[in-house]
Structure 1
């Protein structure tokens, strides 16, 4: 007999409403920027790869919390699909950016006393949409909406006969304040640092992110970057069997390949 256990964030509808409001505001800012600022718009498309470590605690329902301590080798050995893409449109005063990170991990369940076999699949989507204003030649600041979605599916073959399927789907949105510093080191080299702070109890209790890169302008069109990124999220929702906890730091080196238009 196959049973299903589904945990859904009780604030999913509220989170999606907040997301739509944030997107509407960001688009409104961009339209205003096009109408009120002078200067040509430039576009950057930047696929990238992150070598992530994951450290923290996750909790589901009334089960004991589980510790996570994964290195890049652990994660890539279970990686089924991965996609990371940064895109930005900017002029003299405004920048509008999108940052997408998606991972799908799968692992066979080790047979144990009550389980003959099984498979667990986890999908994680993180997407940031941001609008920044240039206050100084080297400083941009603004706001963003950081969307997080985690899906987990477990299909188990039980030793006592029958099968069970458990499913988890959690979505939340973190509003954040963003600041970015760009410092030219030469005609070809640049140092860039970008940070977020947010959550504010609307999504996560607290969320922060820090990125630092050295960039090399190979040509007018091509730019290469290498750096380090940390994403920290402390999110919890629900009680009892509906409880979900995600207090995890994801961090590691990043390589980026950019195309300017």
Structure 2
């Protein structure tokens, strides 16, 4: 994935030189609103979004427990979902940019085993909570009316908590929590097709054994500007991580479509 980020950076550079050449030759590949040309010095964007993600990979919820293969669709996760929240924050001052992407998901899955000797039945509730946030800062390397590229660096913070409650016939419970931090580098490219329609591509990669063995994520959206303050977007997001430490395993891929609404001020 690090190669992919580098490739995206190169592609962004090629796009920059193409756009610059088009400007020199008087070409107009897309109609751009004059307000886009005269960008404000500072901008803040808040984007709550829905990520219809599936989950696949290997997980060891408890360090002394077995590693379990997981392959769940979004509909499978929704059956056990307690709460899910996703929000993206982005800000720019002149050419300096910062962004934060936060995710929290809580699920409860119940298993019942019947026909056991003496106790008859056993009921177990497994609660799983995952939180991660990606915090990045960087510099707008290319800033054209139709095309921008930001280079970014920062960290992704992970926290995973699991608990199990067994009723058979007395109640027994146990919980564990583990967390880590991954350094990441990334790139964000934005292209205006018209004054209303645009595309965003953002990717990052890291880990390198500092926290996880590796992690990467990629997001691509098509956006529609409703007015100067509001826009809507739809696209696809993938988040990958391979973490093995202290008996805990969290080697997963989350992927699925996203839809969001952005407020800009």
TM-score category, normalised to shorter length: 0.7 to 0.9
Match of 2:164 among 127, 148, 154: 154
What is the TM-score when the length of structure 1 is the normalising length? 0.80
Alpha-carbon offset, residue 127 of structure 1: 0.7
In structure 1, distance between residues paired with 2:258 and 2:53: 9
Q: CA RMSD in A?
A: 1.6
Alpha-carbon offset, residue 109 of structure 1: 2.0
In structure 2, distance between residues paired with 1:230 and 1:179: 15
In structure 1, distance between residues paired with 2:133 and 2:205: 15
Aligned to 2:15: none
Aligned to 1:19: none
1:11-41 alpha-carbon deviations (Å, 9 max, x no partner): xxxxxxxxxxxxxxxxxxxxxxxxxxxx631
In structure 2, distance between residues paired with 1:63 and 1:102: 24
Aligned to 2:254: 250
In structure 2, distance between residues paired with 1:77 and 1:90: 39
Matched ranges for 1:1-261 at <5 A: 40-59=41-60, 60-112=62-114, 113=116, 116-137=122-143, 138-158=148-168, 161-238=169-246, 243-261=247-265
Which entry has the higher C-alpha Rg, 1 or 2?
A: 2
Aligned to 2:10: none
Alpha-carbon offset, residue 62 of structure 1: 4.3
In structure 1, distance between residues paired with 2:136 and 2:56: 26
In structure 1, distance between residues paired with 2:220 and 2:203: 9
Q: Residue 132 of structure 1 contacts residue 178 of structure 1 at CA under 8 Å; is this kept in 2? A: no
Alpha-carbon offset, residue 100 of structure 1: 0.7
Q: Residue 56 of structure 1 contacts residue 68 of structure 1 at CA under 8 Å; is this kept in 2? A: yes
Matched positions, count: 218
What is the TM-score when the length of structure 2 is the normalising length? 0.79
Alpha-carbon offset, residue 141 of structure 1: 0.6
In structure 1, distance between residues paired with 2:65 and 2:177: 17
Alpha-carbon offset, residue 130 of structure 1: 0.8
In structure 1, distance between residues paired with 2:137 and 2:261: 22
1:61-115 alpha-carbon deviations (Å, 9 max, x no partner): 3433211101110111111111111111113301111111101101222224486
